[in-house]
Amino acid sequence: MTSPTRHVSNLPAAHPLADGRTGTSPLVRALRGDRPARTPVWFMRQAGRSLPEYREVRQGVGMLESCLRPELAAEITLQPVRRHGVDAAVFFSDIVVPLKLAGVGVEIAPGVGPVMDRPYRTAADVEELVARDLDDAALAPITEAVERTVAGLSDGAASTPLVGFGGAPFTLAAYLVEGRPSRDHLAARTLMHADPETWQRLTAWTADLTGRFLRAQVLAGASAVQLFDSWAGSLSLADYAAHVAPSSTRALRHVADLRVPGPDGDTGGDSGTGVPGIHFGTATGHLLPAMRDVLVDAGITHRTVGVDYRTPLDEATAMLGADVPLQGNIDPALLGAPWEALEQHVRDVVSRGSGAAGHVVNLGHGVPPDTDPTVLTRVVELVHSL
């Protein structure tokens, strides 16, 4: 699979960013470095997990099957928007879905996570992988699910934006090499140093899988994308810069060329019309400037850095500069605390985020599955009131 050289391309005329349905939404404005009257808020892993209506529609249906049934994936994506009034939907999927669509044997084991049919650790293993492709036909369930979701999010001239979602190349490669979730990703980090050429082949392939996955979501109607790097925090800055950043850059380049056409139907080279990109990882406080630079190097024109709960947002702004919008970073642990403690924490997060060019309130990781949904609704109402 080769990463194509792309020239600037117009989004379809009926795309929500192109026809005006989401371009002035609080989320898109904040991702573009603006300060809308209402601070936008959404939650990672809001689609599913804690919602009783999610558990009801998922009965008897496996996780990956749920992701690949367009009508079901769309319904799950829409549920938290209806319930909580969040400012964005996030596409219901899993980071290993592109692997599944490319023919890799992977299942999500309850209580464990993604488990491969076997570890892929040698040059021969990687050559077997890179021979697999991910074409438009394989992506058809994703395109249909996004189209159904965007239709459900539309309300006349306005629409709640959909955030496209994809796993970063390092995280996908780590799952492939380890064969299952790992605490320290020792096998992946060993391959990175023991056989850098094979590692580069592997991560270039996973980058193109994720890139095509993201591009399909954008072309079908997503108004922003988030690249999620679950395991990058296990790396040193030097290893991230040398062995991971290039593949994340490659993944995001698959959507960097897509632009909102101007009044005359031409992008005109206007750098202010690209699809916003969010780059997020866990335990990545030491990597935040490098993660910002990935967005820059990829050519993403509207660049937001997601910050997990370990790094206060004012410290993130000091590292990144006041011109970089931030996303985050409510500690998920506080969702189970008394309301008085959670309210104080949310107010502190919003205050610390005020120095950034834009701020999208979110969690510093995902919604815990035992979260009371009414608490999330109260957080949305609180953020909107500030």
| Active-site residue set | 45, 49, 58, 94, 175
Give every CB contact of residue 177 below 8 A, 6+ residues apart in sequence.
119, 120, 121, 185, 187, 188, 191, 202
Nearest residue to 251 (alpha-carbon basis) of 30, 45, 68, 1: 1
* Cα Rg of the chain (Å, integer): 19
Q: Could you give the C-alpha distances from 170 to 177, 311, 336, 360, 365, in angstroms and in order?
A: 10, 22, 31, 25, 18
Contact at 8 Å (CB) between 213 and 263?
no
Give every CB contact of residue 253 below 8 A, 6+ residues apart in sequence.
3, 6, 211, 298, 299
Q: Encoding tokens for residue 174?
A: 């780590």
Q: Chain centroid to CA 211: how far? A: 12
Contact at 8 Å (CB) between 290 and 279?
no
Distance between CA atoms of 95 and 99, rounded to whole angstroms?
8
Give every CB contact of residue 23 below 8 A, 6+ residues apart in sequence.
16, 17, 260
Q: Could you give the C-alpha distances from 291 to 152, 228, 296, 306, 320, in angstroms and in order?
A: 33, 11, 9, 9, 10
Counted residue by residue, the chain has a size of 386
Nearest residue to 382 (alpha-carbon basis) of 346, 355, 353, 338: 346
Half-sphere exposure of 245 (CA within 13 A, CB side): 20
